[in-house]
Each structure stands twice: as structure tokens, then as C-alpha cells.
Structure 1
Amino acid sequence: MNAPDGSPGAGLAPPPPSTARRLAAGGALLTLLAAAAVAVSTFLRDPLVLILVVLLIVITVVAAWTALVNHGGRRLAASVAAVVALATAVALLFAGSMLRIVAVVALVLVATAAARVAIGHDLAHGSAGARSVGRARQGVLIMNPWSGGGKVERFGLEQEARQRGVEPVVLRRGDDLQALAEQAVAKGADVIGMAGGDGSQALVADIARRHDVAFVCVPAGTRNHFALDLGLDRADVTAALDAYDSAVERRIDLALLGDRVFVNNASLGAYATVVQSDAYRDAKLATAAQLLPQLLGPEAERLDLRFTRADGEAGGHADVLLVSNGVYRLDSLNGFGTRERMDTGVLGVVTVTVDRARDMPSLLSAEASGHIERFHGYRAWTTPEFEVDSADPLVDVGVDGEALQLAPPLRFRSLPGALRVRTPVNAPGVAPAAVAPAGFQDAVTALLRVLGGQPAR
């Protein structure tokens, strides 16, 4: 039965949790209490040691950041301080009861697994608007043999596609990816897929949306963030080909930067400048360490990025600016997280502005705690359209991990429900953010609700 908005089951109350899920909720709560009890008993035995360990960890993080954003003698001194502080913290931990430490870790892992069983079903939004579809009549899969360190060859995707009755098209040097996709559609393909990284996924998805042809994502890139948020198992590359058989289809959003489609995000500021480096793909950490002093160090110049904030006030001088297709759940700036949904019809905008000297301790504290949103220079909002201007003739932009330099103004726009995407029936079906509560308090509340026989939310 369809709800008024056309999505199967939308608006209907979820069924009460099963006995197994209620038992899992009880088990998760009990193991959390047990972990807390062990941790508290350890603290009471030797509180000074634990306080010292916490202080040493803070010193390690601050010293490591100082090393990243400085050169020469300052970098060397900060690096030595970070190593010494970390080594001392580890030594103090191992000097205590290893059995207690192992017990806490084990109990937390058990609680996490039980909680996922108990509340994951109710927190998942991935199936909203989905429908069952039959086998593709004429499926085509375009493959980038260089993506992900050669995953196409390593997983035998060409042969796997043929066995499923799907026509494989292997990208060659000099080929135009979008032209190949256009040719496939012109020859009658009703389902077209891409085996490659997220940049390639976006290019083929653009052709699919223009012709309203169903799209299949095969995670043959390096990080495969798009596949993660579609609810695919990134470790099982060949399983994604099952989407050409009987599958689940739903509509998701795409986003535009000018006339270029992107599926994940576009980054400006410090991260985009790091991505521009030729060495970035082969040595991400080393490249970041080399460039960060120029970008966020004490003598770094502010980037000229002009935009309008959610409150209508003019903004600018952001050190990090992220525009995403949908809203990301960001715990820190060391990765772009995942999205609960990809059908909200909005762009997510995040800006981070750092006062070089004053803000470092609070920024590092927010990063370490997994609550970057608590940093006072962090801003996040949603909007269907967004524009960034600059006095610079070209602006560094990382679009789905691809390094670009574009002339301002940069105009972003959401394309709601633009793409028909197919996923295998047996795929996980939801992104990690969709099955994870926003915080510890939310998780406990959800577990108590399920234990009491109610939906998690």
C-alpha cells in the first residue's frame, strides 16, 4: 500500500520491535553498564594516572598539530614532544591492568553490535520511496581499469558482467567517458552502470539522469563514498552487479556545480588546495603535512571565499568550505562522514573558520571528541542553491575527489530526485549514518524505547 506521497509504506507507523530486538536492546544496555563499572573501578584504583594519561593525550594532539602547521625547528621540537607524550601515555596505560582495559574494549564492542541489531532497523531511511524492479533488458557497465589500484581486473569484473548478461565497456586511454555512456543509451541500454571512482560515477550518472535511464554504482574506486551512502558493501565489489538482476530502485538527488554534476561533495579552502597537489593521491598524509603550514600555519594568508550565510549575512574567509549533495553527518574534519538520506532535495553547506593562534586548542578538542560541530568557528546549514565568489581569477575546488580550478562565481544547485538508482536486493541498503544515533544520549534513549516495546524513534 502506497502512502499519499507515493512511497511504499511512507507515513505508516513502524511495527513494534521483535522479541529478539528487545533482548538485543537489553543486552546492549547491560554491557554498557558493565563497561562503565569496570572503567569507574579502574579510575577509583588510580585516578591520578588516568588524569595524567588524558593530559598526555591532549599534549600529543596539540604538539602533533603544531608540527603539521610549522616548518624547521618548531616542527622538529613539536614532533619530539608529541612522540614523547604519546609514548609516556602508552607506557602508563600498560603499567595498569591490561585485563581491565581489554575488558572495557570488549564490552563496548559487544554493546555496539547488540545496539545495531536492536535499533538499526528503525533508524534506517534508505528504503523510503524504493520499489522492486525486474531484470535489466539491456544492461551496460562501463569500467575504468585504473581506478582503485586496478579493481576491475582484480575482481574480474569484465567476465562477471558477461556472465550476468551485461555488456562490459572497458575505458581506454583517450576515451571520452560521457561519450561512451551516450553511445550505450543510444543503442538501447535501459540500465547503465559505472565501475570506478566517485568522479567517474558522477559523469555517467549525469548521462543516466539526462535520459532517465536507471543507474548502477559498482564500487571499483579507492574510497567509494557514493557506494557507501547508497548502502552497498564496498568490500564485495562483484555483488554490486546483482543490481542488473531483480533489484531495488529509488530516486536520489544529484548536485550541480555550474554545469558539472557531482554525487558527493565539493570542497573549497584548505582541503581543496591539498587535493590540487600532484603527489596527493600517492601520499595523502605526507602531502598534507607538507602543505598545511602554508594553509593553516601562523603566517598563512586567508583564502578569499565570499558567500552568504544561512542568516543572510555576508560570510567569507572560511578556511574550509564544504558543499554537499545532501546533508553529511560530520564528526571531525579528517573525513567527510556519511549521509542519512540522499533524497532531501537540498545542499549541505559547512564552513570552518580558524583563528590561527587562539582557536587551535578548542578545534583540536572538538576534533578529538568527535564533536566538530561544537567548535565555535563551525557553521552548517542547508539550502537548495549556493554561490561562492572570489577576487581570485581561479579557485581551487575538489569535486568528488577530483582537483579542479574554476573561475568564480561558483554556483551550486540541488537536483532533487534526478537519478534512478538500482541496488541489489541483498545489499545492506542504508548508509552508516542512517543506522547510527547522533550521539550517546540518543543511542541510550533509542535502546530504552526498543526495550519497552516501542520503535527506536
Structure 2
Amino acid sequence: MVGRRDHPGAPTPVVTLRTRCAAGTALVTALAAVTIVVAGLVREPVRLALAVAMVVVAVVAGWDALVHRGARRYAAGAIVTPALVGGVLLLDLHAVTRIVTVAALVLASLAAARVALHDVLATPSFTTRPVGPAARGVLLMNPRSGGGRVARFDLENEARRRGITPVLLRPGDDLRELAELAVARGADVLGMAGGDGSQAVIANVARRHEVAMVCVPAGTRNHFALDLGVDRDDVVGALDAFGDAVEGRVDLACVGDRVFVNNASLGLYASVVQSEAYRAAKINTTARMLPDLLGPDARGFGLRIDWPDGLGDLDADLVLVSNNVYRVERLSAFGTRARLDEGVLGVIALSLGNSTDLAALLAGEPRGDLSRHRALRQWSTPEFVVDSEEGLVDVGIDGEALRLAPPLHFRSLPASLRIRLPLHSRSAVARSPLPRPGAASAELLRRLIAHPGTGGVHEERR
């Protein structure tokens, strides 16, 4: 399996004063906790060794819980408390103040480490530069998206209060035509409050007219907003991108002349996501449908692709073509993208040759280890073609079901969209997987030493 290539122009995160303070606090409080234990047991070497070991175990387990997810996080978290309690109980039980102090210092160290790791190790998904307020901002809104988020957050009035012209999509309206009209009337920034399918329509209009775009997470899942670094829970706050903001360029992708911001799915995944039950119960729906779609009596999908490892032109049961590379987790949840400016398509293809492959796929779905499946391949490429003997192919594009005539030509549109973000947004923070504790510590120290500058705005790549 081929992972994503290194991005030669990727920016180095700026080490801010907050980050340095958090890192220093984490180190000092951890050392202070150990020092108190040593001072209290210096005359009792056996108890001293045991107490220090337990405090160290508590700190290491805490770090492990910080940098992992799922079952490993819970397991590591379960170790922290008994190790910490065991360490402090070896102290003089009458020294209540000392016991409380050690516990408080360890907890403070872990909390500060969490802040420092997120600030330093999270990689922005694209580079940005400061920009001034929009001169004539227009916000297009789909009132049906996200269960009525537009009305729930009163986005029409919130836009007016900020000097943004609101345009409400009504039954029978053509979203693309409304966006084209807004640009013709002088809009220099187009915003979209809606789902990812609507975001793609506005992104294409903004791309063709070279105007900036604002993504307002008013849809159901808001994957594009997530990977941009927009807070999906702060719908109204996303409107701040029309004011003083940061702007950068991100990639788009297309199949034929249809642009998408996230991904296009074919075969197995396209069939699963079109189920009415999928949104309410992703994993259960996937597991229930897989045997019918892939069993011995299944008709197959007839998708033919050129595999990257010399296997030639072979059939595939699942193909997912994405705008940049996804982190693979489950069939029902492909994860996130570390970057949005690599200028490539991420391709995930799965060909299940026998019932053993299918059983492994079903077993791995709850664990989230799809990337380890032996039948899965992942690679990146600027262009990609999917062919089929079928007259029309089912395709899910940014959550919308379509039927397109093969062959399907996919290509990346590098740096084609100007995107604006609020000053308070933090691209990729708190969503990218953090490395193991040892690697995290080494990388944190390396960056703190190597990059003494302060400030939080990344310079645009030249």
C-alpha cells in the first residue's frame, strides 16, 4: 500500500508563546512531582524506587491516552489512576498535603502536555495569509440542509448584522445560477451555508471567477469544513471569515466536468451510502449489506481500474477517489485528510477475491482497521480513470447519488480555490492522529528548539 507523498512545500507550524509556556509547564510539573516523591522517601530506597516507578507509569500512561484513540486510550487511562494512587500511598499517609500536591502536579503536567502537543504537532491542512474584510460578501443558504440549521442559527439575520447579503435557496431555485448572479452583481466573497454537495457547487463558481469562498457548516456531516479546520459546532462563528480573516488556496477535484470538494465513491461504498438506514447506523448498515453485495450470488460492480502495483487492469469492488488523501479507518467512515493542497487524488481500491476477504472486512469494521486489510490498496495520483462495461455507473459524489456514463475521468485541480477562514479557526488541530509518546516528546522538543519564532499566522508558500 502506497501512503501519501511528502508535501515539499508544507509549512512548519509556528511555535507560539502559549505553546512554549504549556511545554515548559508540562516538564516542570512532572519533574516537581517526582522531586516531591524523592524528597519524601530519600531515606527509604525500596519505597522510593517503587513510588518513582509508579509516578512514571502514571505519566507515561497519561501520555499514551493523550496520543491514541479508541480502546487503547481507555486502557491507558485506566492505568493512570491506580498507578498515581499507588505512588502517592507509598508516601507518608499523614502527609495529606504532599499527596494532594503530587496528584495535582501530575494532572497539571498531562493537561499542559495536551495543549503543547496540539499546538506544535498538528499540521495545518493548507497555508494561509492575513486578508481584510470582504467588500461585498454574499452568503447563499440552503434551509433544508442539516435538519434546518440555517433557521436554527438564524443565519439570515446574523449575516445582515455583519453586512453580508443573504440569499436563501427556495424550491425550484438553481444554486449555481444564484451564485453566478451574485458574482455578476459584484460579490468578491461567496459563502455557502449547506452540505458538502452545495459547497462543491459554490466552490466551482468561485474557482471559475477567481473569487474567495467561505464554508459555513450548516449541513449534516460537514466533512469539507472539518478538513478545512472550521469548527463545525460554531455555525455562526464561521461568518467571521467575511471580516478580517486568513485566506489560502486549496485543491478541488473533478470527474468529467463535475467538481467535488471531498470524494467520489463507486461500487460497494456507493451502494452502501445510498441506503436510507445508512445515516442512522453506519456500521450496522454496512455489515448487513456487505454479504448481499459481495456474496457468491452477487452480481458484482464491473469496475475496472489500472492497479498501481503491476496487477494490470482488474475488477474492483470498491473505489473511492478523493480530493487529496484520506486517512483510512472504516468502510463506514474514511476519516480525515491531513492536507488539502498536495495537488493529488487519493485513490482507495478494494477487490475481495474470496469469502475470507469478506469475513476479514466485516470483522475489521468495528475495530476501524480497514487500512490493514490485505485486499485494499491506497495510492495518490494527479489523474485516474475508472471504466466499466455497464452503460451507467452508480457514483456518490460528496454525498449525492448520481449515475454517470463510463469511462470516468478523475483529475485534481491544484490550488484552484481561494478559501477564507475566521481568525479563530485552527486548521487540523484536535483531529489529526498524534504520534506515540516517545516520538511526540522528541518532536515537541525538536520544534521548540529549532523554531523560536512566535505568532500564529502561517506565511503563504511562494
Whole-angstrom distance in 2 between the partners of 1:416 and 1:32: 47
Partner deviation per Cα, 1:328-383 (whole Å, 9 max, x = no partner): 11122220211111000000001122244212454355545543222111101000
Whole-angstrom distance in 1 between the partners of 2:234 and 2:13: 33
Q: CA, structure 1 residues 377+283, in 2 after alignment: closer, same or farther (shift >3 Å)?
A: closer
Q: CA, structure 1 residues 306+32, in 2 after alignment: closer, same or farther (shift >3 Å)?
A: farther
Q: What letter is aligned with 1:21?
A: A
Partner of residue 21, structure 1 = 23
Partner of residue 206, structure 1 = 204
Decide whether the 8 Å contact of 2:305 with 2:316 is kept in 1.
no
User: Do structure 1's residue 399 and structure 2's residue 397 form an aligned pair?
Assistant: yes
SS in 1 for 2:186: coil
Q: CA, structure 1 residues 6+451, in 2 after alignment: closer, same or farther (shift >3 Å)?
A: closer
Partner of residue 444, structure 1 = 438
Partner of residue 215, structure 1 = 213
Whole-angstrom distance in 2 between the partners of 1:224 and 1:266: 15
Whole-angstrom distance in 2 between the partners of 1:19 and 1:283: 43
SS in 1 for 2:409: strand
Whole-angstrom distance in 2 between the partners of 1:26 and 1:352: 49
Q: TM-score, normalised by structure 2?
A: 0.74
Decide whether the 8 Å contact of 2:217 with 2:225 is kept in 1.
yes
Decide whether the 8 Å contact of 1:27 with 1:114 is kept in 2.
no
Q: CA, structure 1 residues 111+380, in 2 after alignment: closer, same or farther (shift >3 Å)?
A: farther
Q: For the aligned residues, what is the CA RMSD?
A: 3.7
Partner of residue 383, structure 1 = 381
Partner deviation per Cα, 1:19-57 (whole Å, 9 max, x = no partner): 42244378899989328879xxxxxxxxxxxxxxxxxx9
Whole-angstrom distance in 1 between the partners of 2:418 and 2:12: 22
Identity, % of aligned positions: 53
SS in 1 for 2:272: helix
Partner deviation per Cα, 1:258-278 (whole Å, 9 max, x = no partner): 100000001111120123345
Partner deviation per Cα, 1:218-269 (whole Å, 9 max, x = no partner): 0000000000001011011000000000000000000001100000001111
Decide whether the 8 Å contact of 1:6 with 1:129 is kept in 2.
no
Decide whether the 8 Å contact of 1:193 with 1:218 is kept in 2.
yes
Whole-angstrom distance in 1 between the partners of 2:223 and 2:270: 17
Q: What letter is aligned with 1:303?
A: F
Q: CA, structure 1 residues 125+11, in 2 after alignment: closer, same or farther (shift >3 Å)?
A: closer
User: Counterparts in 2 of 1:424-443, with a 5 A limit?
Assistant: 424-430=422-428, 432-433=430-431, 435-437=432-434, 439-440=435-436, 443=437
Q: TM-score, normalised by structure 1?
A: 0.75
Question: How many residues in Structure 1 have an aligned counterpart in Structure 2?
Answer: 389
Whole-angstrom distance in 1 between the partners of 2:165 and 2:135: 11
Q: CA, structure 1 residues 360+127, in 2 after alignment: closer, same or farther (shift >3 Å)?
A: closer
Q: Choose 170-179 or 125-134, whichever is displaced more.
A: 125-134
Whole-angstrom distance in 1 between the partners of 2:26 and 2:420: 32
Match of 1:330 among 312, 320, 328: 328
SS in 2 for 1:208: helix
Whole-angstrom distance in 2 between the partners of 1:102 and 1:320: 44
Q: What letter is aligned with 1:446?
A: A
Whole-angstrom distance in 2 between the partners of 1:203 and 1:12: 32
SS in 1 for 2:264: strand
Partner deviation per Cα, 1:300-327 (whole Å, 9 max, x = no partner): 2332111112235424332221100001
Partner of residue 64, structure 1 = none
Decide whether the 8 Å contact of 2:195 with 2:222 is kept in 1.
yes
Decide whether the 8 Å contact of 2:394 with 2:404 is kept in 1.
yes
- Runs (5+) with no aligned partner, structure 2: 1-6, 32-53, 63-70, 84-102, 452-462
Partner of residue 193, structure 2 = 195
Q: CA, structure 1 residues 358+31, in 2 after alignment: closer, same or farther (shift >3 Å)?
A: farther
Partner of residue 373, structure 1 = 371
User: Counterparts in 2 of 1:52-451, with a 5 A limit?
Assistant: 115-126=113-124, 128-277=126-275, 280=278, 288=286, 291-364=289-362, 366-430=364-428, 432-433=430-431, 435-437=432-434, 439-440=435-436, 443-451=437-445
Q: What letter is aligned with 2:23?
A: R
Q: CA, structure 1 residues 112+349, in 2 after alignment: closer, same or farther (shift >3 Å)?
A: farther
